Amino acid sequence: MNSSLFLTAAFFYALTTHAADPQGWPVTGGDPGGRKYSPLADINAGNLNRLELAWEYHTGDSSDLRQGVPNTSFLATPVLHDNTLYFCSGLSRAFAVDAETGAERWVYDSEPDWGNTGTGKCRGVALWKDDNATGACALRVFMGTLDGRLVALDGATGKPCADFGENGVVDLRHGLGKIIGNEMAITSAPVVLGDIVINGSMIRDNERVDPPGGVIRGWDARTGALRWAFDPVPPGAPSPQALGAPPGQLYHSGTPNAWSLLSTDPERNLVFIPFSTPGLDFIGAHRLVHGFDLGYYGSSVVALNGLTGEPVWRFQAVHHDLWDYDMAPQPLLMDITVQGRSVPALVQATKMGHVFILHRETGEPLFPVEERPVPQTDILAEYTSPTQPFPTFPKPLHPYGLSPDDAWGVLYFDELACRRKIEAAANDGMFTPPALNRYSIQYPGVAGGQNWGGMALDPANNLLVMPQNYAVTHNMLLPRDAATDWDDDAIGMGMSPNIGTPYVIRHEVLLSPLGMPCVAPPWGELLAVSLDTGDIAWRVPFGTPKDMVPGLSWLPLERFNLGFPSAGGPIVTGSGLVFIGAAMDSYLRAYDARTGAELWRHRLPAGAQATPMTFRGEKTGKQFVVIAAGGHAYMRTQLGDSLVAFALQD
């Protein structure tokens, strides 16, 4: 490593570790390993009654406020540098505001091509500082866009860095082959390792068998030149051209993508990729191409050499995934004690409620993982894996499935309707294969279990804190020529075309005639898992269904802590507090990390389907807690455009 690269890497390591910068939040997960932990302890259980709104910033980027834009979701976690917060909106605009007052420093509009974008999302930006540079673009802000570009901005002014790519922009669509509309986008923050910017991408699910591939690429942070590319196909796979791709296509189509948050280990030069299912979520026979499997890296966490892009190891959490059980949560890196010795570990939560603890350097499970027999498909053109991996420590956190006896309703006829739906469906547990001309029960549903909000580490109590969803998905495969109902505005999730296969698929959330979930509450929980015992240390219903149950606004539902599905994650502070928004009722809450007792809540101006962050202000010395409150269009929570900060009242 040359001296300038070493200095840059050393600065970045200092920038992104709590040990070196305990006051801040320099990356979306709090530190490179996504622990979402801050040692700050000024705000504590004894003074939460003085925690009040400090400032509120409005982006203006809400589809409720702007005409002619896609539906918006404000999911960003701001990052901090030099008393400035940097973040992005769902409309691919970047912002810088004063961390202690919310005063606007600059705004940058990437002016994306909306195309057929469904919902605008951006979960964050990444920072990189060149210690050998002064002036413009010494600090760079990297943001992905809805139309598949990576932009580099001057941290001081928000202007594009002219020496990066083409006038500050790299076109990430290059080499992907045919792209239809905006089926490829960047929705999560890139990560930086040394002087390399690394990005995954979101590829729209269930459209066609040959969508753009999920290549992972590393770019020179100064110039935007491509340093490496990891095409997620198994070793020895034929080239795209050997499979009929045009000459300009560099990467395979239909491979798994990594739309969620990545993690890095700067000490070991590793980047950890949580991969999704490849192409189509519920149909998989087409993944076998000329003897190789497009799903080889599907629903896996994969370690790459961050300097070269070479694969180091993979761990597949779901074999031949037919359930959209992609690796949504960010991998969490920590050291764990096993048989009396400290081991570098990676903890991967999943939508199934499984938590796998792996050796960070090898990918080997640190605790036994059992391959258990699972139900098999009866569709002749499909195949299923005979077994699936189940962790033994911690034990699975989500019920394996549900029976007709689990049916629930507000009234008797409501419960009876749910029971009949469950009885009529294919229903053999969590890994029930999709069925033809018949609904199948998927529980956990496509939203988890766990989702992209992931976990937070409580090192004082050796706990993993995380939300869990309990929603049932109802799926049915239909022959293409028999599918006539294309009501995409149904109370469920509509129809997916699966172009290139004989089938379309109808998705629904399993609801009663009154629009209530067909399983008993809680429909969402916040829980903590002990890393000492592997048991659930505490669990509490999380969220109320206020304003979220159609036709039942006359019921005083806010009084009942029924628990509701969530999106977004928690953080833990050194004072033993858990802060989390995420629930569908537009509150920011604080919990006791040791017991799970709710200690404080504050109503927000919109849904907070995001992960908060915390820092100490350089001027006031105060600890702030900040969260995006702009709602989630897909979840139909209250939309808005607020970034909200809280601090202790003097």
Distance CA 374, CA 352 (A): 14
Distance CA 579, CA 611 (A): 9
Q: Which H or E element spans position 7? A: helix 3-15
CA atoms lying within 13 Å on the CB side of residue 581: 32
| DSSP one-letter string for 132-152 | T--STTSEEEEEE-TTSEEEE
Cα angle 379-380-383, degrees, rounded to a multiple of 5: 75
Nearest to 70 by CA among 93, 86, 94, 104: 93
Q: Please report, for residues 402, 606, 647, the alpha-carbon distance to residue 98 in angstroms, rounded to integers and kept in the order given.
A: 49, 22, 14
Q: Integer distance in angstroms from the first to the last C-alpha of the chain?
A: 49
At residue 459, φ and ψ (nearest 5 deg) are -70, -25
Sign of the alpha-carbon torsion through 236, 241, 245, 250: positive
| DSSP one-letter string for 280-341 | -SS--GGGEETTEETTTTTTEEEEEETTT--EEEEEESSSS--S-----SPPEEEEEEETTE
Work out the burial of residue 98: count CB atoms within 10 Å of its CB; fewer than 13 is exposed, 13-18 middle, 19 or more buried.
middle
Task: Spell out the residues 6+ positions from residue 67 whose beta carbon is closer than 8 angstroms to its own.
Answer: none
Task: Spell out the residues 6+ positions from residue 76 whose beta carbon is closer than 8 angstroms to its own.
Answer: 87, 88, 89, 122, 123, 124, 125, 610, 628
Long-range residue pairs from 302-305, CB within 8 A, at least 24 positions apart, any chain: 302/232, 302/272, 302/273, 302/275, 303/270, 303/271, 303/272, 303/273, 303/346, 303/360, 303/363, 304/216, 304/230, 304/270, 304/271, 304/272, 304/273, 305/269, 305/270
Task: Spell out the residues 6+ positions from residue 2 whose beta carbon is closer than 8 angstroms to its own.
Answer: none
Q: Which amino acid appears at position 202 of this protein?
A: M
Which of these is catalytic: 205, 321, 324, 458? Answer: 324
Distance CA 129, CA 27 (A): 13
Distance CA 45, CA 37 (A): 17
Other C-beta atoms closer than 10 Å to the C-beta of 554 total 6
Distance CA 454, CA 449 (A): 10
Q: What is the 3-state secondary structure (H, E, C) of 247-264?
A: CCCCCCCCCECCCCCCEE
Distance CA 205, CA 214 (A): 12
In the annotation, is 42 catalytic? no
Distance CA 308, CA 323 (A): 32
At residue 557, φ and ψ (nearest 5 deg) are -70, -25
Distance CA 218, CA 216 (A): 7
Query: Which are the catalytic amino acids?
Result: 324
